[in-house]
Amino acid sequence: CLRSLAYVPPGGTAPLRRPSARRKVPVRSAPVDRYLKARGSQPPRTWVSGLAEQVRAAGAEEEVAAARAWYASSVEALLSDPKEGDTEGDYFAAYLRACHREIYEDIDRSDPEELRRLDFAKSLEHPKSKKHRHNLKSIRIPNVDVAFKEFGRFDPEKRVTNARERVLGQILVDSFNLRLVDLAIILTVVKIVLAAAPGEPVVIVFYGGEDHAAHVAKFWGQRCFNYSGLPKNGFIGKRQWEEDEPRGLTFPSYLHDFSELFPVP
């Protein structure tokens, strides 16, 4: 039931935003045999694969190889322990909903990130009772090996998938896509740097969530980049905020004047 918002009218005129009155087209299965094609690629390849080839052809073979190796290892780490690997808690919240519905319905689940870190969660029905607390620490999401063993026992001729099998399948697929976003960011950074004149200072502004930003920064940290010379290791703001806490930030001078970032210490 997915449909692009891009609409090309008959006659090949300029694309328009698809009219909202046109409903989504229902389908019985996901289009797993289709993907976004890199423009001009022949034979067809995915957009990220095409981006990697552009960067490689521009002379950054080493960076592409490092990015590919990082992608494989980071996905493997995420799949080895999805609860710990997904720091934002979305996987854990989804797993609780599918596999421990009685707990999910009886706890405050408004903050999945905090929920993932809790050892015990108060019961909404009995908020003052320790006896009715729910032990979240003992609930783990099966890793990829355990999940595939469960999938191997599934017989589509005898039954449909259950909630546990579906959520595990969704987590496995999403893990690759989650880190694929980071891989695309890394390759785009390399492409931008390659477009600059040799020796020219380059500052790249990335707007994204904390999880993606942290993983991209970790990759470049492994490639000899660091926070040397920046106060508080270059971190601005806070990782945890209260709901009613103002979130206005005061930027340091080097973010008002990028020239202060150079020369690199």
CA distance 249 to 64: 35
pLDDT of amino acid 39: 80
The secondary structure element, H or E, covering residue 170 is helix 163-195
- Taking only the tens place, the pLDDT of each residue in 135-145 is 999 999 999 99
Residue in 73, 99, 212 with CA at minimum distance from that of residue 165? 99
Inside any domain, residue 201: yes
pLDDT, tens digit (0-9, with 9 covering 90-100), for 235-244: 998 888 888 8
> What is the pLDDT, as a whole number, of residue 30?
63
- List of the chain residues with pLDDT < 50: 1
27 lies in a domain? no
Q: Is residue 195 part of a domain?
A: yes
How far is the C-alpha of 139 from the C-alpha of 82, rounded, in Å?
Answer: 12
For the chain, how many structural domains are there in total? 1
pLDDT, position 1: 42
| 157 within a domain of the structure (yes/no) | no
Asked if the structure places residue 155 within a domain, the reply is no
Q: Tell me, yes or no, whether 5 lies in a domain.
A: no
Instruction: Kindly report the number of other CB atoms within 10 A of residue 29's CB atom.
Output: 6
Q: Note whether residue 123 is domain-resident.
A: no
Which residues constitute the domain of residue 218? 46-81+179-239+249-264
- Contact indicator for 198, 180 with CB cutoff of 8 Å: no
In a domain? residue 100: no
